[in-house]
Structure 1
Amino acid sequence: MISHYQSNLENFLHWANTTPNNLYLRQPHGDQYIDYSYAAAAVEIKKIAHFLQRHLTEESKNVGIVAKNSAHWMMADLAIAAAGGISVPFYATLTKDQLHQVLVHSECSILIVGKLDHWDKIKEAIPEHVLVIHTPESSEKSGHQWAEILKTENEIASLPQPKPEDIATIVYTSGTTGMPKGVMITYGGIEAGINMAREIALLDQPSARFISYLPLCHIAERNFVEFAGTAAGGTIYFVENLDTFAKNLASARPTHFLAVPRIWAKFQEGILQKIGGQKKLDLFLRIPILKNIIQKKIQKGLGLDCTKLAVTGAAPISEELMIWFQKLGIFIQEAYGMTENMGLNAVMPRDQIKLGSVGRVHPDCDTRIDPETNEIQMRAPYNSTGYFKEPALTNDLFTSDGWLKTGDQGTLDSAGFLSITGRVKDNFKTAKGHYVAPAPIENKIGTHELVEQVCVVGVNLPQPIVLVVLSAAAKFKPKEEIEQDLINLKDEVNPLLKNYEHLKKVVIVKEDWNIENECLTPTMKIKRPSIEKKYQANFERWYDSPETIIYE
């Protein structure tokens, strides 16, 4: 056990020295795994670090990673730190233009490329001066190859000694509202964050197992899986692809599991389809002798029968979904934060789940609510120092007295539980001059079994309207029943809202919102500006339509 966590690299080297033969990374390949012990990973990391060190200069220390999650992604990140570089991860789903934009802005002199679905389409985005290294998963077999570097390089002789204020990584936001911003995170911030979360994250659990499948360039996955898994001396499993996700998860049986709300909803959908519907499940759970058997069978089927810490984050989750999983013996703990505070603002206590909140504020995190805007503002030793090359945006990130502005609106109770009520910039003004916060309304609509995705809009309309993407459950229902269910849903929700928030129409859109059509971020949040732009020309026509339920 490590008495006090240090940097991610130092934590890794501790385990490489004290438990060299313990399993660190498990990369699935078909029905087999390629395994890396702590010692074996250390050899590759130190050799790649030596190569990187020879090509880095004082003026250019930024090294990019663009790849899907893999053992080599994590080893690349550690190698960058060992070389004294600054790691700059990019989403594996970026288009050619998006990749070029962040590569140029980040001033990366080296780029490590791994497994990608569209390498041939984006490779022209890389400026000529950038040195490219390809991991074994990369489809490109020319140029600098990871495997060849291992054959020719020695291990790095001396490791850097960074100061707490030195930048460890630049994390580009997923860009819900335009150009992604490069959030600078320091070595001291990572150390403070992982030590603060030690007890909450159960990092002293023996034989800790994690599974990495959400984008590693997102702060939640980086914290929860890479930083926490390495600090715990645990084993980190990976997912081969979307088709093998269920199999890989069942094989890993993680003690720690993070999923965004949409994945928890997909789990629910799959369970109900297998078991024959909600009524049948309710019946089984009411029979004492069957309840425990059903709970264990479902947990094992998902691969969550050993899970001690089940977390959700990145987007709001409905109370109904959390209660549904509690009945199965799976207690989901919501975590709240943002890239700029390393995702560490509040977390739901395992033994004190308070529905309607996002958990209790962390012990080392001061939080306040701005009395004028209801914005959540916080300060903590792990806060970002600001945005790379963006002094004006950095200045806007903080209040005059040094508190970080989250952009979220919320309330804070006397016990330290935080609730989110909306986004400062998401609020829109109707034609009647009233401001509407869409997020709380979307949370109410999104709980219905027929609704897969939801976005409330209404700029310059007399009343808001709601756009919905139907769920898989809707495929089994006739059109008339779907329409009546959605009318009933609107009639149930409206009395819970202020008069000027009442929904006028429900619009069923044809196309699913996804990353490819730029309606979702890589972390599955809706990109509100993109959705509004996509449908805005139809808003007035839909609003004036005589029907309550409208098909796009």
Structure 2
Amino acid sequence: MPAAFRLPLQVFYEREARHPRQRFLVQPIGGGQVETLTWADVGHQARCAAHWLRARELPQGSHIALISKNCAHWIIADLAIWMAGHVSVPLYPNLTADSVAQVLEHSEAALVFIGKLDDWPGMSKGVRADLPTISLPLCPGGEFDFSWADLQRSSPIQDDPTPGADQLATIIYTSGTTGLPKGVMHSFGNLGFATTHGTQLFGLNESDRLLSYLPLCHVAERMFVELASIYTGQTVFFAESLDTFLTDLQRARPTALFGVPRIWSRFQMGVYSRIPAKRLDFLLGLPIIGKRVGHKVLAGLGLDALRVALSGAAPVPQALLHWYKRLGLEVLEVYGMTESCGYSHICLPGQNKLGWIGKPCPEVEVRIEDSGEVLVRSGATMLGYFKEPQKTAETITEDGFLRTGDKGEQDAEGYLRLTGRLKEIFKTSKGKYVAPAPIENRLAVHSRIEQVCVVGDGLSAPLGLCVLSAVGLQDAASAARNALQSSLESLLEEVNGALDKHERMRQLVVVKDSWAVENGFLTPTLKIKRNVIEAAYGARFEEWSARSEAVLWQD
């Protein structure tokens, strides 16, 4: 174990003792007001809750669920669970009642914390009646067995419990792009290894600020926000809601931010809604003025203080990265999985190589199989899937390498390029295999396309299904429709011109639906669910393929 390797609770106790009055968590509480919690405040509340949990006399290492949107008490409850010697099991805050029930049953949860939620009445049906519930501050109305205030009436524990590196810390359920989610088991050692090395890459420190808005139950936000803030002393600001997001962002003025590609794309769409793309492109190209315009655009988004901007969880179009660079912001790609604590590959500042993600993170080994599958091994590799020994054996090789499921290649310098997901590759009726993700990335550069899914299993040629952005929908409903049609036709021609013959799409199909988490088309981390999309539109694939138009509009 490296000398610099430290475990999460050890680091928390150090910060709690070193600067107890320093600001740690900033939570919006409505009406433009915020609650600021210091390291001492967080430590005291977590210690009181840990005392209460110990008094339940649950078996050591019991699994305790946490269902909440991001908020200060999500992190405090997580710390309390660990201090009490138990295992935290976070659930996505927008699951259906059936999915809640499935995860709670599979994880063998003994208690469940309920926090900030938008649809608790709908979700609550998934919590069986005999499972004790504890309400956190900002929780919705309803009947709960215990409240956070009940827990705070306990005296704080006086010891500093330190679980061992091999002890199970958390079970993180995957977002389930294909089938039921799996419970990924991570030890305190996994978390400590990834965070210790990951935070050293960028020199983050106590003067840095984070905005927490992606689900904390997802490995990326868990590592980049919760654990990174503990290891570096950063202040964490929380987003209140989608409606207040821009205000929350401008309040925090984060110096470090992790986003999935769709978030970075939404920022771009928001800018285009205020200034036409061609106008902005012209202004950015002007000497001296262009630099000022870029800074002004970033300031309007609340991103002008960013010095670490990361994108991960899905491939990001190179054109989008270039757009931010013209504004004066270098957005860096990272690559990882829930099964590797999100710790695998990263592109460092000034080392961007067009079309490639980056090099392995420190102490990560990489192997490319004959099939093209990328395998990685490090101290961040999961213990396995909870109650799934067969799937664990299929995913982790005998010599400890994690099968990522991604196809890729590595150059002489160690840079990694992904060429598709093994499970997503489909075969056309001509017997040719097509990887959809690289094609989708090429289509996603269009300023009027918000989401895209390339399908083609069993078809003579692939189809590109597109969802328009808000601006694109306005164009489609106005006199600009013909121009949009022409632009999409040009896009199809341009993209097809860069593809091998068997990959070329027959048409682009503009679908009417919005693809969202709420209607099941997206995972909670905003990835498209291909099986849901194919089920929704599959009956029309042959009909669309028989048409001669380059761009079709779903009727």
Same-fold status (TM-score > 0.5)? yes
Which shows bigger deviation, 284-293 or 513-522?
Answer: 284-293
Tell whether the 8 Å contact from 2:9 to 2:162 is kept in structure 1 after alignment: no
Q: Distance in 1 between matches of 2:142 and 2:11?
A: 33
1:49 aligns with 2:50: yes
Which residue is 1:228 aligned to? 228
Does the residue aligned with 2:310 lie in a helix, a strand or coil? strand
Tell whether the 8 Å contact from 2:475 to 2:481 is kept in structure 1 after alignment: no
What's the RMSD between the two structures over aligned residues? 1.5
1:451 aligns with 2:449: yes
Tell whether the 8 Å contact from 1:239 to 1:248 is kept in structure 2 after alignment: yes
- The one of 384, 387, 393 equivalent to 1:389 is 387
* Residue identity in the other structure for 2:28: P
Shift of 1:492: 1.0
Does the residue aligned with 1:188 lie in a helix, a strand or coil? helix
Shift of 1:272: 2.7
Which residue is 1:37 aligned to? 38
Map 1:90-101; keep pairs closer than 5 Å: 90-101=91-102
1:481 aligns with 2:483: yes
- The one of 418, 422, 439 equivalent to 1:420 is 418
Q: Distance in 1 between matches of 2:396 and 2:197?
A: 22
Q: Distance in 2 between matches of 1:109 and 1:295?
A: 51
- Cα distance change of structure 1 residues 296 and 482 upon mapping to structure 2, 3 Å threshold: closer
Tell whether the 8 Å contact from 1:69 to 1:238 is kept in structure 2 after alignment: yes
Deviation per CA, 1:283-311, whole angstroms, max 9, x where unpaired?
33233332332232222222122211001
1:61 aligns with 2:62: yes
Which residue is 1:321 aligned to? 320
1:547 aligns with 2:549: yes
Could you list the structure 1 runs, at least 4 aligned residues long, displaced by more than 6 angstroms after superposition.
Answer: none
Map 1:243-262; keep pairs closer than 5 Å: 243-262=243-262
Unaligned runs of 5+ in 2: none
Does the residue aligned with 1:295 lie in a helix, a strand or coil? helix
Which residue is 2:528 aligned to? 526
Does the residue aligned with 2:125 lie in a helix, a strand or coil? helix
Q: Distance in 2 between matches of 1:482 and 1:17?
A: 60
Q: Distance in 1 between matches of 2:278 and 2:444?
A: 21
Tell whether the 8 Å contact from 2:62 to 2:86 is kept in structure 1 after alignment: yes
- Cα distance change of structure 1 residues 13 and 159 upon mapping to structure 2, 3 Å threshold: closer
* Residue identity in the other structure for 2:538: Q
Deviation per CA, 1:499-524, whole angstroms, max 9, x where unpaired?
11110121111001111121111111
Which shows bigger deviation, 479-488 or 517-526?
Answer: 479-488
Tell whether the 8 Å contact from 1:60 to 1:108 is kept in structure 2 after alignment: no
- Cα distance change of structure 1 residues 180 and 538 upon mapping to structure 2, 3 Å threshold: same
TM norm structure 2: 0.96
State percent identity of aligned pairs: 40
Unaligned runs of 5+ in 1: none
Aligned residues: 547
Which residue is 2:121 aligned to? 120
Q: Distance in 1 between matches of 2:206 and 2:290?
A: 29
Does the residue aligned with 1:153 lie in a helix, a strand or coil? coil
Q: Distance in 1 between matches of 2:108 and 2:154?
A: 26
- Cα distance change of structure 1 residues 282 and 465 upon mapping to structure 2, 3 Å threshold: closer
Which shows bigger deviation, 180-189 or 153-162?
Answer: 153-162
Q: Distance in 1 between matches of 2:100 and 2:195?
A: 30
Which residue is 1:336 aligned to? 335
Q: Distance in 2 between matches of 1:92 and 1:218?
A: 11
Q: Distance in 2 between matches of 1:292 and 1:59?
A: 57
Tell whether the 8 Å contact from 2:475 to 2:484 is kept in structure 1 after alignment: no
- Cα distance change of structure 1 residues 417 and 56 upon mapping to structure 2, 3 Å threshold: farther
1:496 aligns with 2:498: yes
Which residue is 2:397 aligned to? 399
- Cα distance change of structure 1 residues 458 and 282 upon mapping to structure 2, 3 Å threshold: closer
Q: Distance in 1 between matches of 2:244 and 2:147?
A: 26
Tell whether the 8 Å contact from 1:109 to 1:129 is kept in structure 2 after alignment: no
Map 1:272-283; keep pairs closer than 5 Å: 272-274=272-274, 276-283=275-282
TM norm structure 1: 0.96
Q: Distance in 2 between matches of 1:84 and 1:6?
A: 18
* Residue identity in the other structure for 1:353: N
Q: Distance in 1 between matches of 2:439 and 2:281?
A: 28
Q: Distance in 2 between matches of 1:288 and 1:447?
A: 25
Q: Distance in 2 between matches of 1:109 and 1:60?
A: 10
Shift of 1:488: 1.4
